[in-house]
């Protein structure tokens, strides 16, 4: 009978492995704690005059000088939500003659029929008048979303490319609020914050909302404020077309083409602007299977991107602190296998009565990093505008979300 893998490791090697494991976990925990402390030290202000933190949003843009904009809507079997996305895209407050909509449809079910039906209905109602709309269908799904976006660029007419996944609903003034950030010639991409359409549908959606809010309210703002590398999140953002073409466009060799492109952009001197005050609501997955597929793509894709870009990153002239923060950002999903390894090692280490266990309490501070980050995000949300019913029930809602924050920390 074969021995368990850990049974073949000597006490010294086991101790070394455990020490390395908890040290790396502590590093990631302290990284989350560091971001939270920076966030608390310098709270974001929508009225700030610091263009780097929050570019000024001026009045509605005069139609005359409006640039041409292409909306790319990558679709794959989204029959339940595609209608509202197209309706929201055609309702954007932008001159129709300056707007192009590309529906990049890789669907294999009846979503394509639904797209044609909603386009016909909107055309009959006069809601697409003057807007150039392309319903693009590929013969194969080569490189998946990255391939669809790259192929769409071939016929795109806009100087700026806005991207929305099927489960998002862009507000009518989205372009008016994001395009002024491109007044800075070094801005290659603008990312808006994700909101939620169904955060209270279930414990699963509440936990997801906590995790996403922690990322967008704390992590993205802190990275942007520090001048560290941050990422376009795949949707609810706008790209400068010249930048896209200069850095090599979309590439399908990772599952997170958005993260890959974001880092290639910044390594070549472009910048990403994050606008936390511009919120684009989206529907959270309500099924555990859908969430698992999503998390698998994000986890595998981020590690693929880290493997692909760690050499260019560390050979670049960027300061070391920025390289270090970027490395932690790209490899943050390594926390999951490290936690599993920790669980496998804790029993044999305890049986060995290792003196290393005496230092375990010191790592508790690091373990507070993730839940505190989620708590900071909840505190920021408390100050935002809520409806009357939400205002009355906010305390109960927050207590649920705090419990969810601990659930996310323990699970993730």
CA nearest 237: which of 180, 204, 208, 278? 278
Measured CA to CA, the distance from residue 409 to residue 336 in angstroms comes to: 11
- Measure the CA–CA gap between 251 and 150, rounded to whole angstroms: 8
Select which of 106, 213, 260, 404 is catalytic: 106
> What is the C-alpha separation between 48 and 42, in angstroms, rounded?
12
Specify whether 21 is catalytic: no
Measured distance CA(23)–CA(356) in Å, rounded: 11
State which H helix or E strand residue 72 sits in: strand 69-75
Report which secondary-structure segment, H or E, holds 280. strand 271-282
Residue 258 bears catalytic tag:
yes
Instruction: Name the catalytic one among 165, 167, 213, 258.
Output: 258
Radius of gyration of the chain from Cα atoms?
23
Picking from 251, 128, 270, the residue whose alpha carbon sits closest to that of residue 187 is 270
Length of the chain: 412
Q: Which of 196, 171, 157 is nearest to 92 (CA)?
A: 171
Catalytic residues: 106, 258
């Amino acid at each position: 009978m074969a021995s368990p893998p850990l049974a073949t490791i000597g006490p010294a090697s086991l101790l070394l492995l455990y020490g390395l494991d908890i040290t790396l976990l502590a590093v990631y925990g302290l990284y989350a704690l560091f971001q939270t402390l920076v966030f608390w030290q310098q709270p974001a202000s929508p009225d700030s005059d610091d263009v780097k933190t929050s570019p000024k949003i001026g009045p509605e843009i005069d139609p005359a000088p409006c640039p041409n904009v292409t909306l790319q809507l990558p679709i794959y079997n989204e029959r339940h939500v595609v209608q509202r996305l197209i309706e929201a895209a055609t309702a954007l407050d932008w001159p129709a003659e300056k707007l192009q909509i590309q529906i990049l449809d890789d669907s294999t079910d009846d979503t394509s029929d639904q797209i044609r039906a909603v386009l016909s209905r909107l055309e009959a109602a006069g809601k697409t008048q003057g807007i150039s709309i392309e319903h693009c269908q590929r013969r194969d799904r080569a490189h998946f979303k990255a391939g669809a976006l790259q192929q769409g660029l071939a016929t795109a007419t806009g100087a700026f490319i806005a991207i929305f996944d099927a489960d998002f609903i862009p507000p009518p003034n989205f372009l008016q609020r994001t395009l002024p950030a491109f007044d800075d010639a070094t801005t290659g991409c603008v990312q808006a914050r994700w909101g939620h359409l169904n955060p209270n549908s279930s414990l699963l959606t509440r936990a997801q909302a906590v995790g996403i809010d922690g990322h967008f309210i704390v992590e993205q703002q802190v990275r942007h404020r520090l001048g560290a590398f941050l990422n376009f999140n795949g949707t609810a953002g706008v790209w400068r077309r010249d930048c896209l073409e200069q850095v090599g466009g979309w590439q399908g060799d990772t599952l997170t083409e958005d993260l890959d492109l974001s880092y290639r952009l910044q390594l070549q001197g472009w910048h990403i602007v994050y606008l936390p005050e511009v919120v684009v609501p989206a529907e959270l997955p309500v099924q555990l299977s859908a969430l698992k597929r999503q998390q698998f793509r994000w986890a595998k894709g981020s590690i693929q991107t880290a493997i692909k870009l760690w050499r260019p990153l560390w050979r670049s002239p960027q300061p070391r602190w920025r390289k270090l923060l970027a490395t932690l950002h790209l490899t943050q999903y390594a926390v999951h296998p490290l936690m599993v390894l920790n669980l496998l090692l804790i029993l044999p280490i305890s049986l060995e009565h290792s003196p290393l266990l005496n230092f375990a309490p010191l790592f508790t501070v690091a373990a507070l990093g993730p839940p505190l980050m989620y708590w900071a995000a909840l505190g920021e949300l408390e100050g935002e505008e809520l409806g009357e019913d939400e205002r009355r029930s906010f305390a109960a809602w927050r207590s649920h979300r705090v419990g969810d924050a601990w659930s996310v920390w323990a699970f993730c």
